[in-house]
Chains A and B, each alone.
Chain A
Amino acid sequence: MPVINVDDLTDKDKAVMEVNQLKIEIKLERWLTSKCCEEIKEYIQAGVEEDTLVKGISEEKNPFKEKGGCVIC
């Protein structure tokens, strides 16, 4: 990939780049939002039971639990 030196670009160069970029983006094939929302919802629901921040974690399994007992120095 050629390395562009951005500092060498004139305002016109940047304007041309912007137009060319928009011409690329226009062609994108877009999915229906209903399908995307369903997928996101399903993904979340499939994983939420295992999500510790949502469901919590038992003290025994928590690696950050306070360790009790004596410490010998």
Chain B
Amino acid sequence: MGEMEQLRKEAESLKDQITAARKAVQDSTLQEAAAGITVVGRIQMKTRKTLRGHLAKIYAMHWSTDSKLCVSASQDGKLIVWDSVTTNKVNAIPLKSSWVMTCAYAPSGNLVACGGLDNMCSIYNLKGKDGNVKVMRELAAHTGYLSCCRFISDTEIITSSGDCTCILWDIETGTQKTVFAGHQGDCMSLAVAPDFKFFISGACDFTAKLWDIREGTCRQTFGGHESDVNAIGFFPNGNAVITGSDDATCKLFDLRADQELITYQDSSIMCGVTSLAPSMSGRLLLAGYDDFNVNIWDMLKAERVGKYMWKLYIPLENGRKVDPAEDSEGSSRVAVGTEH
């Protein structure tokens, strides 16, 4: 038997053992635990604000920790920082590369970052002395597109890439601290744990991985999806992971049981999930889909309790992707970006 064949067989055997170990602790389901609970009433959401200004597809947005400001990135080559209450543009930052796919707001509110087909993560200082927003660092090392980035602090940021890796960067020196390798497909998104000790990544190898930021190791791998995992987020208490996939489902994985607890799916939903966010208590899951809808799920009962359809305003560009719906930590604002 060749070496590769031997290694492949060993991997298969280990995977079977992990499956058995997971089954051994599977003494109950979330449906059973929630059997006595009534489904939440129908959720009606009302558009309160529309942030207008981008001239092309909006690919990403991220809330600031103050839940008022947010940053959005568009392929019109701009990063815009919005005051969501007044709808004013606080900053409009022109980008070197307009092929942007992701953006992030630092927890401090001092920095924003973005990146995309330029394979780089560019960091901008919003609080520069002369009031101008300038590029502070360009983090270059990925050999594939930048799919997502999230700040740990003003000095560290984690990026995920189409080169199948995630990287922890030292922003001051612009160098890589740790490369997180292991995914066998493009990394599509990442989320940092509420305690900042771990992060999770979703990839085109149909899995989600939990990484220890300081150790630089992968602790757990969650399979089950039948296609690319495009969106990922932590359940609010940090003990579970929510994924959204091109297989049209979302799944809830518990970190301590090391397995899936429930799948959010409906036979009428046949298009991929592009983004997701849980509500503050974790009772609701908002998920954005490729058909322009945001579906709202009761996370305990796995029933759809609302649907938010994005109405076409003035179409400026043909396109089909609905972009990230994101719910701010500790708040109840949902922002949906589209291509208008």
Q: Chain A: residues with CB nearer than 8 A to chain B?
A: 1, 3-7, 9, 11-12, 14-19, 21-26, 28, 30-41, 43-48, 50-54, 57, 62-65
Contacts and interface: CB of A to CB of B under 8 A. Distances in A.
Contacts of A18: 7, 11, 182, 184
Interface of B: 3-4, 7-8, 10-11, 14-15, 17-18, 21-22, 24-30, 32-34, 37, 40, 43, 45, 48-49, 68, 84-85, 143, 163-165, 176-179, 181-182, 184, 216-221, 235-237, 239-240, 254, 256-259, 261, 279-284, 286, 299-300, 327, 331-334
A17 B327 contact: no
Nearest to A15: B7
Contact of B181 (A6, A32, A53): A6
Contacts of A37: 28-30, 32-34, 254, 261
A41 B29 CA distance: 12
Contacts of A36: 239-240, 254, 256-257, 261
A32 B327 CA distance: 30
B11 A32 contact: no
A33 B178 contact: no
Contact of B8 (A15, A38, A40): A15
B219 A28 contact: yes
12 contacts: A25-B14, A26-B21, A30-B21, A30-B258, A34-B27, A36-B261, A37-B33, A43-B282, A44-B300, A46-B281, A54-B43, A64-B85
A46 B279 CA distance: 13
Given A30-B21, A52-B332, A3 B178 contact: yes
Given A18-B11, A40-B240, A51-B280, A12 B182 contact: no
Contact of A53 (B11, B218, B279, B300): B279
A31 B220 CA distance: 14
Contacts of A32: 25, 27-28, 257
A11 B178 CA distance: 21
B78 to A, nearest CB: 24
Nearest to B46: A64
